Amino acid sequence: VKQAVLGVLVVVLAALAVYPVVGSGYGVRSMQQVFMWIALAGSWNIISGLTGYVSFGHVAFFGAGAYAGAILVADAGWPWPLAALAGGLAATLLALLIGFPCLRLKGPYFAIAMLGLNEVLRALVSYFEGVTGGGNGLSLPTQDATVPVYYVMGLLAVTVTAMSWLILTSRFGLRLMTIREDEVAAEAMGIDTFHHKLLAFLLSAAGPGVAGALTARDHGYIEPISVFPLAITVTMIVMALFGGKGTVFGPVLGAVVLFVAQEMVWAHYPYVHPLLFGAIIIAVVLLMPRGVLGLLQQRYRLPRTI
């Protein structure tokens, strides 16, 4: 079975690797966005799916990466792949800065603090006009990088998923899940809970940072409201939740399915799109809180590290 799964994975990855040669511009763009959502949902899953700390402002890292990358490309003239790495680093540093106070907060307070972080970053970015262009946004020099960005974004999605698998199958992952189940008990068993949470938080911030910088390069223009919306946070959460939070492939499945669903809703019902999106969120929360993989694991005794 293991070899079959591995075989399927290799075939899928190979097909995706040659896709830009045959696919249309729209198709490549869409796939690139699917990769982005896989990276975002997978990253959110590392902190929130495993430790249970709900990061309700995860888009902050996406936005921080987007601005860091865009400023380096536009003002410092860095090549965009390097700027993307710097975007990931910037997001990780932000996580380090914010993790020290916020990861000591519990339950709803952590969620509110993260929600607030996002609002604050948007206010800061709008304020420092000299560096960020403020509310007018920031334009990057024109450059057609759709296909290279496709590959790098794909690499990012694979990296995040592989990292999730490594974490979930490691003792580190087990300790994180112990924190989720009972933090006091975890502490009593000798787990340094704070540093475990912090490390998971840093790992979950890097991916969105890189994804933000890549998206900035691809769109060529960013503004505070386009890279810090609460809707991006919620979308990645719902994707992880739909596929199954705390699993390796749940976020991947959720990203693919919900992205396709969203595109279809967009195309057919542009005016009521948010209404239908809201309905999808409510349905996922009420009807399948464990997600598709969670349900399958329950029913068919699938491995925990799926």
Partner 1 sequence: MLGQVIVSGILAGSLYAMVALGLALIFGVMRVINIAHGPMLMLGAYTTYFLYAQFGVNPFLTVPIAMAVLFVVGVLLQRGLVFRVVDAPELSSLLLTFGISIALVNLAQLAFTSDLRAVEYITGSWLLGGLAFSKSRVIACAFAALVTALAFLFLKRTRLGKAIRATSQSREVAMVCGVDVARIHMLTFGLGSALAAAGGALLAVIVAIQPEMGGVWTFKSFLVIVLGGAGNYPGALLGGMLLGLVEQLASLFLTTQLSEVVAYVLLVVVLLVRPTGLLGGRQT
Contacts with partner 1, residue ranges (CB under 8 A): 48, 52, 54, 56, 101-102, 104-109, 111-113, 115-117, 119-120, 123-124, 126-127, 230-231, 234, 237-238, 241, 271-275, 277-282, 284-286, 289
Distance CA 205, CA 129 (A): 25
Q: At how many degrees (to 10) do helices 80-102 and 146-168 cross? A: 40
Per this entry, what is the length of the chain? 306
In whole angstroms, the minimum distance from the beta carbon of 108 to partner 1 comes to 4
In the three-class reduction of DSSP (H, G, I as helix; E, B as strand; rest coil), residue 222 is classed as strand
Distance CA 133, CA 31 (A): 30
- Give the nearer residue to partner 1 in terms of CB position, either 129 or 192: 129
Query: Burial of 131 by CB count in 10 Å (0-12 exposed, 13-18 middle, 19+ buried)?
Result: exposed
- Give the nearer residue to partner 1 in terms of CB position, either 93 or 112: 112
Structure tokens of 153?
């974004």
In whole angstroms, the minimum distance from the beta carbon of 241 to partner 1 comes to 7
DSSP code, position 169: T
- Give the nearer residue to partner 1 in terms of CB position, either 94 or 156: 94
Distance CA 113, CA 56 (A): 8
DSSP code, position 305: T
In whole angstroms, the minimum distance from the beta carbon of 96 to partner 1 comes to 15
In whole angstroms, the minimum distance from the beta carbon of 100 to partner 1 comes to 10
- Give the nearer residue to partner 1 in terms of CB position, either 46 or 86: 46
In whole angstroms, the minimum distance from the beta carbon of 9 to partner 1 comes to 29
- Give the nearer residue to partner 1 in terms of CB position, either 105 or 177: 105
